[in-house]
Amino acid sequence: MELTQGVKFRVLPSVKFKDIGIYIRFIHPLTPQFATKCSLMALMMTDRCEAYPTKQAMSRRSDELYGLSLGTQTVGYGAAQVMEMRARMIHPRFAHSASFLEEGIRFLRELIFAPLFSEENLEEAKRVLRMKIERMQDDAAQYVIHRGLKEAGKGHPLAVSSLGEIEELEGLTLEDMRQTHQALLERSGIEILVCGDLQEAQVGPLFRQCFSFAPREAAADTHYVVTGEGQPETLLEERDIPQTSIMVLYYTHTDVLDPDYYALRVMNAMLGQYSTSLLFQNVREKNSLCYSIYSNLISFDGALGIMTGVDPQHVDKALALIEEQVEKLRQGDFDDELLTVSQTMIRSSLKAGDDVMNSIIALQYQNDLLGRDYTSDTIISLVDQVSREDVIAMARRLEHRLTCIVGRKEDADEENIKIDRGNEMLYS
Residue 289 has pLDDT above 60, yes or no: yes
- Contact between 246 and 386 under an 8 Å Cβ cutoff? The reply is no
Under DSSP, the state recorded for 253 is -
Residue 413 has pLDDT above 90, yes or no: no
pLDDT at 412: 66
- Tell me how far apart the terminal alpha carbons of the chain are, to the nearest angstrom: 41
Residue 88 has pLDDT above 60, yes or no: yes
| CA 89 – CA 73 distance, rounded (Å) | 18
224's CB contacts (< 8 A; 6+ apart) are 78, 79, 156, 157, 255, 300, 301, 302
Q: What is the pLDDT of residues 105-146, one digit of tens each?
A: 999 999 999 999 999 999 999 999 999 999 999 999 999 999
Phi, psi angles (nearest 5°) of residue 377: -65, -35
3-state helix, strand, coil in the chain (%, to 5): 45, 20, 30
Residue 81 three-state SS? strand
pLDDT at 217: 85
Task: Look at the alpha carbons of 171, 177, 182, 185 in this order and tell me if their dihedral is positive or negative.
Answer: positive
**Domain spans, the chain:** 2-210, 233-420
pLDDT at 415: 59
Mean pLDDT of the chain: 93
| CA 187 – CA 217 distance, rounded (Å) | 7
- Contact between 11 and 194 under an 8 Å Cβ cutoff? The reply is yes
The CATH number assigned to the domain with range 233-420 reads 3.30.830.10
Q: What is the pLDDT of residues 231-287, one digit of tens each?
A: 999 999 999 999 999 999 999 999 999 999 999 999 999 999 999 999 999 999 999
Residue 421 has pLDDT above 80, yes or no: no
Domain 2-210, what fold?
Cytochrome Bc1 Complex; Chain A, domain 1 (3.30.830)
The total of other beta-carbon atoms located within 10 Å of residue 292's CB is 10
Q: What one-letter code names the amino acid at 193?
A: L
DSSP structure string for 328-374:
HHHHT-S-HHHHHHHHHHHHHHHHHHTT-HHHHHHHHHHHHHHT---
CA distances for 393 relative to 39, 130, 271, 274, 413, angstroms? 39, 43, 14, 21, 34
Q: What is the pLDDT of residues 380-410, one digit of tens each?
A: 999 999 999 999 999 999 999 999 999 998 8
Say yes or no: do domains 2-210 and 233-420 share a fold.
yes
pTM: 0.93
Q: How confident is the model at residue 334 (pLDDT cuts 50, 70, 90)?
A: very high
| CA 265 – CA 268 distance, rounded (Å) | 5
Q: What one-letter code names the amino acid at 33?
A: Q
Mean pLDDT of 27-38: 94
